[in-house]
A and B are shown apart, each in its own frame.
Chain A
């Protein structure tokens, strides 16, 4: 069976049931769903949650079901592409470079996303349970809408997760910054005073969203196939026919046209940084049609929280890993922790060959993506997925006057609240590695392997008893 959101839900329920929660009580999409997710987060829990009984934007229930927090745990992203927590970056990089799959076109009658087709006034955004996430958000936002646009000259499709305010029944106000491909495509249409076709894809397998985030330009559709492990099924759109294809197994597709040279007020909106992006002028997209499954599940990304951080992590890690291995083949792994929004901080694990290598790695990493701001390079004996170990390495192997790299006046991310002027940022790298031989360094403590084996075999305490302890 072809993969989609439902097959992923089934897989999680089967293989990792502790990662899934179903809520059957009535709940409002306006503030209450995020409040529930926050309540779980306050208790240190990040399951993906399916809300069965939801009030929509108009306050009517039951509307469509809602699922959120799908990407809030790296374990689930690993399951999505058949990997492990430690190998997500390497497996992602391998698939997007060597294991891509071209999409295939299927018949409309076999496309679940065409079960219901709404046009004109029937294509009403207010019938959807679009979430209002935070107190100061201007209104309900589609946060898991993968925006598909096409270069008018080359036909190359770009996929981007952009924020979209559902302002009116047939109007979205959408924000994309000028460093993104979506903006470059928009400019090409706007210069000819033409609207830009944009399909908003909501609800699909986690591997779909992961592949769509690939940093290899123009490769999104085959990268999605690579992550799914099968070709992405496409079907002609309602508005543009076979000039613009959309995912056949999505839950919902909203077909829109972004008006040329037209902007309206948009935001505030709680961004991936965990802060609100301020009110601004953004682009206007007019809804032409909404197609969906009969019992569609509306997917939301819990904006400003782990679900929002982690979705971009694997693609960024894979991209940076590939670049780092060009300058230092002994880089073992890269991790962008959620504590750094999975964008601003990078932990790099290295089998070091000389004492100057870490600084080359730092310089490469800081330039690899404009959002990367702070980088830690550690030895291979440090587990980069354990922040205590990374910070312990910094505490015991780092000297501020010799091991710090700072580069001023680099380009940063506009959403970074600590940037006070334009995009100007300072980037910093920390070399937290031991010196290479023949220089000596103190040895890390180690429990006797024999004693460890013996204690484990003796069964002083069971695994279940250990799990109950603090």
Chain B
């Protein structure tokens, strides 16, 4: 599995990436909130569009 997983922020739609271990951790613990580095919107992984290879 690659080291990082790309996603789009559900608010501003800009693309960034998370490390794979965070991707797996937020799947295991849905309470983890990610933060968009562009607009600083905080969101749950389930609301993000991940681009799994």
Contact = CB atoms under 8 A, between A and B. Distances in A.
Nearest to B35: A265
A268 B3 contact: no
A421 B37 contact: no
Interface residues of B, number: 19
Given A136-B16, A278-B18, A268 B37 contact: yes
Nearest to A420: B2
B39 to A, nearest CB: 11
A184 interface: no
B50 interface: no
Interface in A232-269: 265, 267-268
B33 interface: yes
**Chain A, interface SS category:** loop
Interface in B14-35: 16-19, 21-22, 25, 32-35
B47 interface: no
B34 A265 contact: yes
A421 B1 CA distance: 6
A137 B34 CA distance: 14
Contact of B37 (A137, A280, A414): A137
A268 B17 contact: yes
A183 to B, nearest CB: 15
B28 to A, nearest CB: 12
B24 to A, nearest CB: 11
B16 to A, nearest CB: 6
A18 B18 CA distance: 42
A265 B23 CA distance: 12
A279 B17 contact: yes
5 contacts: A136-B38, A278-B17, A279-B22, A279-B34, A280-B19
Interface of B: 1-5, 16-19, 21-22, 25, 32-35, 37-38, 40
